Structure 1
Amino acid sequence: MFAFDRSSDTGRAPRTAIYLRSYPFDASGMECHRRALEELAFSSGLPEPVMFLDNGLRAGDGLPSRDALLKAVAAGSVDILLVPGLYVFGLDDDEANAVKEELARHGCRLVQLPSRRGRARRDASLTPAA
């Protein structure tokens, strides 16, 4: 599980963001993913994340929120980015990995949501035996 390490604390709270993308348009705005990522931030001791959402857009259409996020990361305004998976950056592995590498170059820590199976296993390990 991801945990925020306060030993490297620079005296300020990390600036945390969430990036979500859906195609076709998701009327709920990817509510279930947003909630899971917000819970991950909360349980990791991070401040409430800022949301970046490209809803109903394909990578080929241009992704204005992804572009704004990358500018914020480059400017030092985002330290930790929470995503459900690399697929939000592009369905092509090379494209998704290029974005991942760009984030890393700017010192942004990328945290992916654990799979449902991984979350269920973790939650079961926290449940006391009867």
Structure 2
Amino acid sequence: MFAVDRSNDTGQAARVAIYLRSYPFDVTGMECQRRALEELAFEAGLPEPVTFLDNGLRVADGLPARDALLRAVAAGLVDTLLVPGTYVFGLGDDEAGAVADELARHGCRLIQLPSRRARGRRAEPPVGRGSLTPAA
């Protein structure tokens, strides 16, 4: 599931990942979000991200890709995570915040996709607490 970059001969490179979740199942919406997050990674000079996808699953169903992602972060295989918003982690702010806090405890930088309006005017370098949203 993870690619290893050995181009610098230092072993495993720091990994970048994308996490997406949708309920109900939505191929088109997920693909649009994935492409937007890949573009964000490219613009930020990050390596190509690995994608973790829970499409068509409710939080109550269990989220196997989210769980695999959390294990990868804990193991040091992922150090930067791109998401459309923290809502992908859980139903409410408390649950989503708990997952975001767990990522931070393991040293993972969380980058959220800026709103469409903000993306249209993005011209400054990324700023902020772990996100690539432009300054207001």
TM-score by length of 2: 0.79
Question: Which residue of the partner structure matches residue 7 of structure 1?
Answer: none
Question: Which residue of the partner structure matches residue 117 of structure 1?
Answer: 117
Report the number of matched residues: 114
The alpha carbon displacement at 1:109 in A equals 0.2
The alpha carbon displacement at 1:29 in A equals 6.3
Q: Percent identity?
A: 79
Superposition RMSD in Å: 1.7
Q: Which runs of 4+ in 1 moved over 4 A?
A: 10-13
**Partner SS, residue 38 of structure 2:** helix
- Segments of structure 1 that go 5 or more residues without pairing to the other structure are 1-9, 124-130
TM-score by length of 1: 0.83
Question: Which residue of the partner structure matches residue 129 of structure 2?
Answer: none
Contact 2:14–2:77 (8 Å) recurs in 1:
no
**Partner SS, residue 45 of structure 2:** coil
More relative contact order, 1 or 2 (CA 8 Å, 6+ apart) = 1
Question: Which residue of the partner structure matches residue 72 of structure 1?
Answer: 72
Contact 1:29–1:55 (8 Å) recurs in 2:
no
The alpha carbon displacement at 1:120 in A equals 1.2
- Segments of structure 2 that go 5 or more residues without pairing to the other structure are 1-9, 124-136
The structure that is helix-richer by fraction is 1
